[in-house]
Amino acid sequence: MTTMAERTHTTSGSAPEAASSTKTLTLGKAVNEGLRAAMRHDDKVMLMGEDIGPLGGVFRVTDGLQAEFGEQRVVDTPLAESGIVGTAIGLAMRGYRPVCEIQFDGFVFPAFNQITTQLAKMHNRTRGAVSVPVVIRIPYGGGIGAVEHHSESPEALFAHTAGLRVVSPSSPQDAYTMIQEAIACPDPVVFFEPKGRYWTKGPVDLDAPVGSATLNSAHVVRAGTDVTLVAYGPSVETAVKTADALAAEGRSAEVLDLRAVSPIDTAAVVASVRKTGRCIVIHEAPVFFGAGAEIAARVTEECFYALEAPVLRVGGFHTPYPVAKHEREYLPSVDRVLDAVDRAFAH
């Protein structure tokens, strides 16, 4: 994975030092490197989407991939999301592993029928005879000052549909590993990328083993004893900042990154809440009928006698996503999460 120029030169007689495989990357670049690694590993992996070739996509996540792998494997498609996903389903049935890019979250709905009616049900419809290993990459969430239909969080709509895996990385390392695991997965995966965190930098081990652990398992970002903050995707950073603020107040918060919205790693959530006795769920999507409601219900069922307070949710409001100048009031903030924690401790 490293070039000769990147290797450490040593003097004669000294032992050579191994070149480090850990690089500092943005989350967007980590997805790019993960796609590149998957395409090098398996020539059946191909990318499809609008402007993903020479332009490299709106967020440049596919930058340089068409130049390396050619137009047959990095396909610039017409502006037709239903056609992109429908074609990917057919390719997957013929043995390919297509990765579709949806330019923005709000543009996925023309393909909603293909995803929820065809892609999600094909394996069950054929009683397991046909697998459709398609990945749908969707930049989602707010915080970038975009116009209408460019800042939505529709993950609950897909998580409600049986047959789909719904995941979202929060760090560059997870982005790099999880996109490869999603591509290798035999199930269709809706891969939500937090566009507001595309420029977040972090260490990425390019030689990290790729299995299924990050795709299936929640991750304790910070251990704590007094309250569990459950988050995923863009809200993990908010949870960590809230934990910092609580630490200054003498309260210990455990931050749990779900990674997957469907299936939920219920065991990890339950273990954390049984330890802390309190649970706050954070996501950018509207709280009404959101992923937090499912988590709250499961925690209440499994941790009823361990809970010191009701499970509370902090998220978007039951309104269309607002114009850019008001989105900071809409998105979950540290202050809003701190308020929920105060209410949990008031019981």
Q: Determine which helix (DSSP H) or strand (DSSP E) holds 112, and give its type and residue range.
A: helix 112-113
> 78: burial class by Cβ within 10 Å (0-12, 13-18, 19+)?
exposed
* Phi, psi (degrees; rounded to nearest 5) at 265: -80, 75
Alpha helices in 134-196 (DSSP H): 155-159, 172-184
d(CA 116, CA 111): 9
Q: Quick check: is 150 catalytic? A: yes
Pairing mode, strands 74-76 and 97-101: unpaired
d(CA 253, CA 246): 7
d(CA 262, CA 216): 9
Catalytic residue among 150, 160, 318, 326, which? 150
Alpha helices in 118-219 (DSSP H): 122-125, 155-159, 172-184, 213-216
CA nearest neighbour of 50 among 101, 108, 106, 105: 101
Q: How far apart are the first and last CA of the chain?
A: 54
Instruction: Sheet containing 165-167: give its strands across.
Output: 74-76, 45-49, 97-101, 135-140, 189-194, 165-167, 260-262
The residue type at 339? D
* Phi, psi (degrees; rounded to nearest 5) at 299: -65, -40
Half-sphere exposure of 84 (CA within 13 A, CB side): 30
Residues annotated as catalytic (active site), given as ranges: 150
